[in-house]
Structures are given as C-alpha cells and as structure tokens.
Amino acid sequence: MSKQRWKVHFVGVGGAGLSALARLMLLEGHEVTGSDLVENERTRELQGLGMPFQVGHRPTLIKGAELVVYSSAVPPTNQELQWARSHGIRIWRRHQLLPWITRGKKVIAVAGTHGKTTTTAMISHVLISAGLDPTCIVGGVVPEWGTGLRRGKGNYMVLEADEYERTFLCLWPYIGVVTAVEHDHPDCYKSSSELEEAFRQFAAQCTLLVMNTDTALGQLIASSFPHAVTYGSRLDAQRRLVEVRRAPGGLQLSVAGPNGVDELALPLWGTHNGINAVAALAVAELMGVPQAQAAAAIASMRAVERRFSIRGPAGGVYIVDDYAHHPTQVRAALEAARQRFPSSRIVVLFQPHTYSRLETFFAEFAASLGQADGAFVLPVYGAREQGDDRLASKLAEAAGATFLGDKGRAREVLVSYLQPGDVLLNLNAGDAVQLTPQLLKELECRQQGSPVRAS
C-alpha cells in the first residue's frame, strides 16, 4: 500500500482491536466502511466520524472496496468474505494491516497472556506525559481518550500485540514487552511449549526486550535473551516489585532498580497491576524518560474500562467489571477486590469464555472460583467455538457455585442475593458485562422501594 487514499471495509468492526484500526484509518483520511452482527458504542463512534456501517453481513458496503480487513472472530465462511474472494478483492486479517499501520514508526509492542492491555495503557500514559506524542492502540477503552486509540504526531507507536493465532509475529518492535506468560488459547496452542515457541520468536524480533520472569514460561524464554531487561517480583529480576501496601485511592509500591528502591503511588488495585507498573518504568528508562517523571505519570493513571472498573454503589452494593477469563486472572481480580474492599463479602459472577479454555483449565477455574465468598456461573460464551453446553454447569458444581442458565435469571437471582456491603465481580470477556447497568438500576430501585421493571 502506498500513502494514497484507500477504500477499506472492516468485517467485525465493533471489536476493540478492529475498531481502533478503523478509527486510525478514518483519521488518516482513508474511506472506511464497516459491518458487524450488532451495533455498539464503538460502531456508533465510528459512524460519528463518517464511517458507513451496517448490521449483519451482506455484501452491500463491501462493493467498491480495495481491501477487506476482518477480525479473528469472523469465520472464513462469512458472506462478505466469500463475496470479496469471488470478486478478487484483497482480504487481510487484522494483523496483516499492522505492518502497514506501523510503517515509519518506532514500535513499542506489549505482548503476554496477562496484563498487556493495562501495561500498554500505562506505557502510553507515561510517554504522552513525557511529551513524546505517540500513537497508541490499546485493546480496551482508555478513559482519557474515550476509545482504544490515540493518534499522535510523534515517531513512536505503542500497541498491544496479540498472541492469538500468532498475530504478534507480524511485528518487529523497537521495544518489545512480554508480560506474564502462561498457557492460554488452547484452540490454537495445543501445549505450553507451542506458546513458548511463539513468544520466543516474538522476543527474537525485538531490538530491545523487557521481560516478566514471574512465570515458569517467562523464565524459560528470558534465559535465551541475556540482553533482556527482566522485571517482576522474583529476587533475580532487574526491576523488582519489593512491597505493596494499601493506600488511600490505590496502592503504594516499593520498586527496586539499578539505582536503589523507589516509592511509587498507583491508583489501581491488585499486585498484578503493581507489576505492570514496573514494566512501564522499565520502558520509560529505555526511552530516556526520568523515573520521577514516569512515576508521576503512573500516579495519575486511570483503569482501562473492564479492567477492574468499579461501578456503584447501588443499594449499598458495588459491582466491578473485569475482563478476567483465565484462572490466573480470576485469582488476580479476587485479590484486587480484597485489597479495595477488605471488609466486604466478595461475590463472583463468571461467564466462561470459549469451550476449549474451560475444558483445558477446568480444575484451575474451579479452584479459583472457590476462593470467592459466593460464586455464580453463566453458560459459556462460545465466541468462535461450539462445544458441550453442560461444561458450565459442571464447573459450578465443582466450584461449589450456583449455575444460572441465562442472563435474565442471573439478574433476578443476584438482585435477591446481594446485600448492602457486598461486592460483585462481573468477570467475563463476553457479553455478561451488559448485566452490570441492569443490576445497578434494579439494586437502586430495591433500595428505594420502587417496583423493579424488566428491561
């Protein structure tokens, strides 16, 4: 692609990753159209920028397109993709667009199975505060931007690098960050060794490397890259989280580095976010940003939406939206909740994401949910998969939780179950996040003694 104006159609444009790319293409003056199964806030924002949008997959808007870009959630049998193939239109997966999007930029790419969204947002926040004016692509909504994209005029681009289907291997970053790495995505990585090999290849493609060594896989990968800057909570990490203390509005961190121990205020919750902050400090140092300046930027950080986003209280109940969909992430969300709400009963509503993940990590999910004071399980959000619908009810039984067969019943049961002082963690990477505003409304009505109306 040259720098001429292109007509690009995005299939599945409502997703976090694809919508950010569509937005960037619009802002750079290209003609962009999009489609998805449903309209959402992201598609409405894109329409506000001038993007024609259609609900459903019909080859209406695709006519005249020079390029079609689609997300990993879109199957090859999609009607629009089939039409594009039959008419000789170039078709790219999302990751194939990234090398063109990043052309001429020094890329800081953040990969990892846990923590990459928040770490990408933190690094972006630090570099913006330092006046470097980067372009940033985050896989979630950053409150200061109202979207997952910030278009800057500087030479740097900060982006979240997704390991799913090895899409991050299209990048050759100036700085690569690898956050915590554990086996995930069993539908495309059949073993942890396959995942390890993909991350090794990503690390080898980075000019500079910042590597979390808290997991066994992280240690294995880092051992092959002696030039890497290591970080985490292990004693041998070059940048180490020494201590985490609860403070008003967040956490107080003690971080050990080459120049001693620094104190850092973090207005987020969870030790895992403390470790993410250490990664941001390490990148700042490589970029020549003074540590005091980086620490001040992190102290003004706000959580990315659906990354421990606190809502309420309503009827004396707080609800926390979190994207946790792996057993380690469930445990991290519970730990963060106990830090933020030390005297509360912590209740979990969990929507499993994909059948293959639930089946592979079934025992680990059951153990993680068992750490809550009360737990409820929804049916599996299959996304791109089909599977055994009995798995979710079996998980509830194994975890000592309650299975809720649909979201309507979940709303009814939870409004009755939750009491003033409780905290509900709504943990999902699917559509159960839609329950949060409904529950808040009904809990408020319950407190006021108003009749609750179904919506």
Quick one: CA torsion of 83, 86, 90, 92, rounded to 10 degrees? 60
Secondary structure element (H or E) that encloses residue 48, with its range: helix 41-48
Contact of 264 with 299, CB cutoff 8 Å = yes
Residue where the block lists tokens 């003033």: 420
For residue 447, the model assigns a pLDDT of: 75
The answer on 391 and 410 residing in a single domain is yes
Contact of 418 with 449, CB cutoff 8 Å = no
Helix (H, G, I), strand (E, B) or coil at 453: coil
Beta pairing class for 156-160 and 135-142? parallel
Please state the pTM of the whole predicted model.
Answer: 0.92
For residue 385, the model assigns a pLDDT of: 86
Question: Which CATH number belongs to the domain containing residue 156 in this structure?
Answer: 3.40.1190.10
Planar angle of CA 268, 274, 280, nearest 5 degrees? 100
Q: Which residues are catalytic?
A: 116-117, 160
Contact of 112 with 198, CB cutoff 8 Å = no
For residue 3, the model assigns a pLDDT of: 58
Q: Is residue 453 a part of any domain in this protein?
A: no
Count of structural domains, the chain: 3
The answer on 258 and 225 residing in a single domain is yes
Q: Is residue 2 a part of any domain in this protein?
A: no
Strand partners, 265: 252
Q: Is residue 1 a part of any domain in this protein?
A: no
The answer on 150 and 38 residing in a single domain is no
Strand partners, 350: 377, 427
Contact of 301 with 310, CB cutoff 8 Å = no
Q: Is residue 354 a part of any domain in this protein?
A: yes
The answer on 264 and 148 residing in a single domain is yes
Q: Which of 96, 117, 147 is the last residue of a domain?
A: 96
The answer on 282 and 133 residing in a single domain is yes
pLDDT along the chain (455 residues), means of 10: 78 89 94 93 93 93 93 88 95 91 95 97 98 95 92 96 92 97 94 96 98 96 96 96 95 94 96 98 97 96 95 97 97 98 98 96 98 98 89 98 93 96 96 95 82 45
The answer on 273 and 318 residing in a single domain is no
For residue 453, the model assigns a pLDDT of: 45
For residue 408, the model assigns a pLDDT of: 86
Sign of the torsion angle spanned by Cα atoms 322, 327, 331, 334: positive
Contact of 264 with 282, CB cutoff 8 Å = no
Give 381's DSSP letter.
B
Burial code (b: 16+ CB inside 10 Å, e: under 16) for 219-235 equals bbbbeebeebbbbbbee
Question: Which CATH number belongs to the domain containing residue 432 in this structure?
Answer: 3.90.190.20
For residue 449, the model assigns a pLDDT of: 67
The answer on 327 and 197 residing in a single domain is no
- 15/7 Cα distance (integer angstroms): 20
Beta pairing class for 250-257 and 260-266? antiparallel
Domain that holds residue 327: 309-448
Contact of 178 with 211, CB cutoff 8 Å = yes
The answer on 213 and 188 residing in a single domain is yes
Q: What share of the chain is helix, strand, coil (3-state, %, to 5)?
A: 35, 25, 40
- 82/387 Cα distance (integer angstroms): 25
Q: Which of 36, 67, 96 is the last residue of a domain?
A: 96
The answer on 187 and 137 residing in a single domain is yes
Question: Which CATH number belongs to the domain containing residue 35 in this structure?
Answer: 3.40.50.720
The answer on 292 and 320 residing in a single domain is no
Q: Is residue 455 a part of any domain in this protein?
A: no
The answer on 115 and 51 residing in a single domain is no
Residue where the block lists tokens 């606190």: 310
The answer on 251 and 132 residing in a single domain is yes
Q: Is residue 134 a part of any domain in this protein?
A: yes
Q: Which of 70, 96, 122 is the last residue of a domain?
A: 96
Structure tokens at 168: 């991050």
Residues 6+ apart with CB under 8 A from 424: 317, 318, 319, 320, 347, 348, 349, 414, 418, 439
Burial code (b: 16+ CB inside 10 Å, e: under 16) for 381-401 equals beeeeeeeeebbbbbbebbeb
For residue 396, the model assigns a pLDDT of: 98
Q: Is residue 304 a part of any domain in this protein?
A: no
- Give all strands of the β-sheet with 260-266 in edge-to-edge order: 147-150, 135-142, 156-160, 106-111, 175-178, 208-212, 229-232, 239-247, 250-257, 260-266
